[in-house]
Amino acid sequence: MDNIDIEKKLNEWQLELPVPSTAGGSYTPVNIRGKVAYIAIQFPIINGELHYKGRFGDNLSTEDGYKAMQLAALNVLSQVNDKIGLDNIEGLNHMDAYYQSGENWNDAPRVVDGASDLFLHVLGKKGIHSRAIFGVHKLYGDLSVGITCHFTLK
């Protein structure tokens, strides 16, 4: 699948890749070891602006979470496209998803589907992956979600 196909897939959902963010500390957003690319945590941020701040079940809905995860996944794809080229990946291996919620909210799988569905739609079979979901007390900037991913390279 080349970048033109990926752009077409994004356009089908009225989405586009954001400008890749810069590292917020002493690390690299994409670290390649052998044929595996490790993508540092990506958040729902566009052009430095933080989106979907807060906790699910308190001030954010499950649907907000789905959109937040979708935006974080777009940032993953943006990093891969910028540093590696989306046409140079064999596939997505695994995703770790992080979220913050109120006490009585329990719909994390549906929220994380926002990222999973996007990867599957855009990458097709290359987007098939395993995942783990972690509820955390606090994320950077009070953002509701973040994801890390591992890709196999061609």
Contact status, residue 142 vs residue 98, Cβ threshold 8 Å: no
Instruction: Identify the pLDDT of residue 24.
Output: 85
Q: Which of 1-15, 27-41, 54-68, 103-117 has the lowest mean pLDDT?
A: 1-15
The pLDDT, as a whole number, for residue 83 is 96
As a residue count, the chain comes to 154
Tally of structural domains, the chain:
1
pTM to 2 decimal places: 0.95
The whole-number pLDDT of residue 112 equals 98
Indicate whether 61 belongs to any domain.
Answer: yes
Domain assignment present for 114: yes
23 found inside a domain: no
Domain that holds residue 51: 3-13+36-153
For residue 8, tell me if it sits in a domain. Answer: yes
Q: For residue range 84-96, list pLDDT tens digits in order.
A: 999 999 999 999 9
Q: Is residue 48 part of a domain?
A: yes
pLDDT: which is higher, 129 or 7: 129
Is pLDDT larger for residue 1 or for residue 125? 125
- Tell me, yes or no, whether 76 lies in a domain: yes
Residue-level pLDDT at 3:
57
3-state helix, strand, coil in the chain (%, to 5): 40, 30, 30
Question: The domain spanning residue 136 has which CATH number?
Answer: 3.30.1330.40
Q: How confident is the model at residue 6 (pLDDT cuts 50, 70, 90)?
A: confident
CB atoms within 10 A of CB 141: 13
Question: Is the confidence at residue 2, as pLDDT, over 60?
Answer: no
